[in-house]
Amino acid sequence: MEKFPPEIASYIFKFAVEAESECTAARSRLAVQLSSVCKSWRKVALMTPHLWTHIYISTRKEYSEEWLSILEEWISRSKCLLIDVVFVPFLNEEVEAQVQAGLSVDTTVEELKLVAALTKSIGKWRSFVSCRNREPHDLFHTILVKTNGQKFLSLTELEVRSMTPADCIDAIERSPLLRSFSALEMMPLPNPEYQAVVHKSLEVLNLASGWWGSHSVETVLSRFIFPKLHETFLDLADEFIQKPVVEFFERHRHDGPSPSKLMKLHLNFGEDIKTGTVFKQIAGFLPNLTELTLDYQFPAELNEGELVYLWLSGSPEKNPAPYVPPLPKLQSLEYYIGTRLPRRKTPFRLWPFILALFPIALKGGDPPSLRPELKTFITNCTFSYKEKLSESITALRDAGIVYEEVDRSPASDKTSAEGDSESNDEGVEETDSDSELDASDN
C-alpha cells in the first residue's frame, strides 16, 4: 500500500468501505479499522473524507463523552461531503420500563449534547435514521425544536420511529429534496386541519399509527400532494377516518401535469367495515399501479369484497367495450388475512373468482380478465379444498401465472424477526474500542 500514490490508496479505501455493507455501523467500524493499521494507513484514511460520511451514534451514558468527541471529529473529517446519520438512543432498564409502560421518556443531558452537535451540521445531512423502538417521544422532535425552522436542504431520506403528525408535517415541509419518509409509530395527539400543499421531491412514503392507535396517518395524508410519489405503505388503525384517505389519492389523480405515478401500494387494515368502501373508491385513482398488497390483520368475511370487486371490475362479460377497468396496469396482487393470528387452513369460498382475475381463459371458466398484466397472486390462505382444483392451478402456472401460498403467521414473523435481530446486532454492536476510537484526536 505504501507504494501507491496517496490518491490511489485513498480511492481503494473509499471503495472498500462502500463495498462493505449498506449498514452505517459496519461502514463506520471498517473506517476505524483502516485508520488503525499503521501510521501510513491512518494518514491516507484522514485524507479520505468519504470514509467518514457514515456516522453511527449511540447514547450509552458510560460512553457519552467519547461518542460526542467521535461525532464532532467525524463531521470534521467528512469535509464538505454529505453525511448519513444513524442515531441509536440507548435504553437502560429504567428507560425500558418507562417505554413498556407507555410513559414519556425525557431527553437526557447526554442526548442533548449529541443533538446540539448534530444540529450544527444539518446542511450536510443526506439521510437520518433514528432507531429507538416503541419510544413515546422520539429525539427527532428535539432536533426540530432546536433547529428552529431551519431547512434540511440536503436531506433525501428520513426514518424516525415515532413522531406526532405535526412533527411529520414539519419535517417534510422543511426538507425540499426529501425522497423517502418513514414514520412507523405515530402518536395520537390532537392536530388541526391542514390545507394540502405540494412537496415536489418525495417518492416513497411509509406511515403507520403504531401501537398507540390514532388518526395520525389521516392527519399527515390530509396535508400533502406528492407529484412524484411512486411507492407507499399505509397502516390504518381500527376506525380510521375514510374521507382524508380517499381524498389523498383523489388529489393525486387531479393535481399536477400527469396522473398519479404511484406504482406500489401496501394497505394494512385492522378490523374496520370501511375497508371495502375505501378500496373501491381509491382504485379508480391509480391508473399506473403495478403492485398491490392488501393486508388484513384479522379475518373477516367482509374482506372478501375487495377480491369480488377486482373480479367484477375486470370482467369483460360484466363490462362491455369500450371499457378500461380500474388498476389497468396491475401486475402483482398480494392478499393476506388474519396476519395477527396463527396460521390455519382457510376455507376460501372465492377461489373461482381468483381464477377469473388473470388474463387467461381456463377450461370451463371465465373469459380472460381486462387486466392483461396481472400475472402474480400471493396469499397466506391455504385453501382447504384446493385438491379439487389442482388442474386449474396447474393450468395457471403453465400459462405463466405465479401463484404462491406463504406463511405470515406471528410465529413465522417472530422467527424472521429474531434472525433479523441477530443480523442487525452484528452490524451495530458497540464495543469499548469503538467508543474510544479517535477520542484522543480531540
**How far are the Cα atoms of 39, 132, 143, 168 from residue 185, in angstroms, in the given order?**
46, 11, 18, 11
Q: Is residue 318 part of a domain?
A: yes
Segment 58-99, tens digit of pLDDT: 766 555 567 788 788 888 888 898 999 888 766 656 655 655
Q: What is the pLDDT of residue 299?
A: 62
Looking at the 3D structure of the chain, how many domains does it have?
1
Residue spans of beta strands (DSSP E) within 345-441: 376-379, 402-405
Question: Is residue 375 situated within a structural domain?
Answer: no
Is residue 39, in this structure, part of any structural domain at all? no
Provide the pLDDT for residue 191.
52
In-domain check, residue 6: no
Please return the burial class of 177, using the count of CB atoms within 10 Å of its CB with bins 0-12, 13-18 and 19+. Answer: middle
Q: What is the DSSP letter of 229?
A: -
Is residue 42 situated within a structural domain? no
- Buried/exposed code over 129-167 (b: 16+ C-beta within 10 A; e: otherwise): bbbbeebbbbbbbbbbeebeeeebebbbbbbbbbbbbbb
Instruction: Tell me: pLDDT of 431 over 50.
Output: no
Phi, psi of 377 (to 5 degrees): -135, 120
Q: φ, ψ for residue 391 (rounded to 5)?
A: -65, -40
Please give the model's pTM, rounded to 2 decimal places: 0.79
What DSSP element (H or E) covers 197?
strand 197-198
3-state helix, strand, coil in the chain (%, to 5): 40, 15, 45
Average pLDDT, the chain: 76
Q: What is the pLDDT of residues 293-322, one digit of tens each?
A: 998 876 655 456 788 889 889 988 888 878
Listing DSSP states for 124-161 in one string gives GEEEEEE--TT-SS-THHHHHHHHTT---TT--EEEES
**412 vs 390: CA distance, rounded Å:** 26
Confidence of residue 178 (pLDDT cuts 50, 70, 90): very high
User: Which of these ranges, 20-24, 158-162, 223-227, has the smallest mean pLDDT?
Assistant: 20-24
Q: Is residue 40 part of a domain?
A: no
Asked if residue 220 is part of any domain, the answer here is: yes
Any domain includes 34: no
Domain residues for the domain of 177 are: 50-349+410-441
Compare 19 and 245 and report the one with higher pLDDT.
Answer: 245
Number of residues that make up the chain: 442
